[in-house]
């Protein structure tokens, strides 16, 4: 079982998981265009490794360990798409397949450097999906850049279940863990009370990509989509796979 196969399966399961419903063997087989029997064999191997919880004839979902790997490879994939499109000027219709081939070979160190080189992008170019946050223990991208400049980038790792406010639903709650963006945006969020460790709850998600109303320190603030996608919180596992 190669690391490439493992990463491909975990990423596919995360993509196919919707609204708390287990992903079926048939869905995965159709995704990869292979026989269901081959999928079943692979799922059993992944379950033994602790990456998934597999129930025969019912389906599969990722464990925290599996989510960690899926998020990591998804982050690498979407950063590579930005690099291919923004720097190499490859068309949007071609970046996905090219990134699929490159994501497995990109080291964690190269991923961190690529993120800084691209000025910490928040969305991939082809379908504008959010780039997952990194696992470095910084409260902002500016702090990451500063620590790297000082040669202090190799420190601890954050916990699991990190997701952007934009990905949450009404009634969800979480503690702010990581914020990224330009200095003016960061200062505005800090002034609103959105600081690392602060508890927030989602009060209303406006339709048509409208603002998200968030309860913070007893007050209500409205965040636009772009800003909400750059504020990451720790919350239960079920929300990690909700979109």
Domain interval for residue 24: 3-62
Q: How many domains does the chain have?
A: 3
Tell the residue number behind the tokens 């603030």, with chain if given: 221
pLDDT tens, residue order, the chain (243 aa): 568 999 999 999 999 998 889 999 999 999 999 999 999 999 999 999 999 999 998 999 999 999 999 999 999 999 999 999 999 999 999 999 999 999 999 998 899 889 989 999 999 998 889 999 887 777 788 777 776 665 433 222 345 567 888 888 888 888 888 787 766 677 778 888 888 888 899 999 888 778 899 999 888 999 988 888 888 888 654 444 444
Same domain, 223 and 174: yes
Instruction: Give CA separation, 191 vs 103, 187, 188, 216, 238, in Å.
Output: 37, 6, 5, 11, 30
Measured CA to CA, the distance from residue 195 to residue 175 in angstroms comes to 9
Last residue of a domain, one of 11, 41, 62: 62
Among candidate residues 241, 230, 3, 240, the one with its CA nearest the CA of residue 107: 3
Same domain, 232 and 175: yes
Residue 67 lies in a domain: no
pLDDT of residue 150: 56
Measured CA to CA, the distance from residue 131 to residue 82 in angstroms comes to 10
**CATH assignment at residue 122:** 1.10.10.10
Same domain, 40 and 82: no
Same domain, 79 and 112: yes
Measured CA to CA, the distance from residue 200 to residue 193 in angstroms comes to 10
pLDDT of residue 161: 63
Burial call 160-199: b when 16+ CB within 10 Å, e when fewer? ebbbbbbbbeeebebebbbbbbeeebbeebeebebeeebe
Same domain, 119 and 85: yes
H or E element, residue 12: helix 3-16
Same domain, 56 and 106: no
């Amino acid at each position: 079982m190669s690391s490439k196969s493992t990463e491909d399966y975990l990423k596919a399961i995360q993509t196919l998981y919707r609204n708390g419903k287990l992903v079926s063997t048939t869905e995965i087989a159709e995704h990869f265009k292979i026989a269901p029997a081959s999928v079943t064999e692979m799922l059993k191997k992944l379950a033994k490794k602790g990456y998934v919880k597999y129930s025969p004839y019912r389906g599969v979902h990722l464990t925290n360990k599996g989510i960690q790997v899926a998020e990591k490879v998804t982050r690498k994939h979407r950063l590579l798409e930005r690099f291919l499109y923004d720097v190499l000027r490859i068309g949007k219709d071609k970046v996905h397949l090219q990134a699929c081939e490159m994501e497995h070979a990109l080291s964690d160190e190269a991923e961190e450097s690529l993120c800084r080189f691209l000025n910490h992008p928040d969305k991939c170019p082809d379908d504008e999906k959010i780039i997952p946050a990194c696992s470095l223990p910084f409260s902002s991208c500016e702090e990451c850049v500063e620590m790297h400049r000082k040669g202090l980038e190799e420190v601890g790792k954050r916990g699991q279940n990190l997701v952007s406010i934009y990905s949450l639903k009404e009634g969800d709650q979480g503690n702010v863990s990581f914020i990224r963006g330009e200095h003016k945006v960061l200062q505005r969020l800090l002034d609103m009370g959105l600081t690392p460790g602060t508890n927030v709850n989602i009060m209303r998600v406006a339709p048509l990509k409208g603002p998200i109303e968030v309860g913070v320190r007893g007050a209500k603030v409205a965040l636009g989509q772009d800003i909400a996608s750059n504020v990451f919180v720790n919350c239960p596992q079920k929300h990690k796979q909700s979109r």
